[in-house]
Amino acid sequence: MNPLILDTENYVHPRTPVIVALDFADEKQTLQFVRQLSPHLCQLKIGKELFTASGRHLVEQLVHQGFKVFLDLKYHDIPNTVAAACKVAAEMGVWMVDMHASGGQRMMEAAAEAVSHYQHRPFLIGVTVLTSMTQADLLQTGVNRPIAEQVMHLAGLAQQSGLDGVVCSAQEATMLRAQLGQEWLLVTPGIRLSTTTTDDQRRIMLPKDALAAGSSYLVMGRPITQSENPVLLLEQINQGLI
């Protein structure tokens, strides 16, 4: 069963587990889609393409509408630069922001310290191994560990560094939940409505199976944004029917 995480600002009440990835090219397309949704149905994720196209204005507009926004820019830079970026994210009012755990402990600790004094700070999430990567892809980067071991290593490093959770595939969720505890956030992309459709993802899982495995949040893009009835689909996922 999906654990209920409690926090004075973000987890006063149980929330939908779905984070909708807004993989649109511009602000106009994004807002046209978001008009169908409401904050009680889902959280929203803004990634590199949309943020590059629309910038801070769109993020703040969605926050003003009451949505919890996951700013998915996967920071990976020197500690001072990442810390400064996380401060800006906090000032924008984002709910969650991520960084590559492979950036190291000093980088992650600097990020955690940078937002520690904000009354409503964003959750800081470490990216472990991208769900698009296979074992062969990982080997090409010079990492000889099996994917699961590398995910566990980076997740442990993120926890030691003061982060709130990690991005991982749902296939690693049970292992991480057991090792890192019930309050550790597990944000899982690669969620599909059919395991026969992978797109650019490789380590995938169905929504109800991912939640049963221990995922806290499910990142879903095209299955929802290309759906004929995204509201109905979100309601079905939230009710554990899919």
- Mind telling me the catalytic residues? 74
- Return the bridge partners of 18, or none: 218
SS3 219: strand
181 phi-psi bin (left φ>0, alpha ψ -120 to 50, beta other) = left
37 contacts: CB under 8 Å, gap ≥ 6: 20, 44, 67, 230, 231, 234
Cβ-contact 154, 126 below 8 angstroms: yes
- Return the bridge partners of 123, or none: 96
51 contacts: CB under 8 Å, gap ≥ 6: 58, 59, 71, 73
- Return the bridge partners of 126, or none: 99, 166
Please state, in angstroms and rounded to a whole number, the distance separating the CA atoms of residues 126 and 157.
Answer: 9
Cβ-contact 197, 174 below 8 angstroms: no
Please state, in angstroms and rounded to a whole number, the distance separating the CA atoms of residues 237 and 150.
Answer: 30
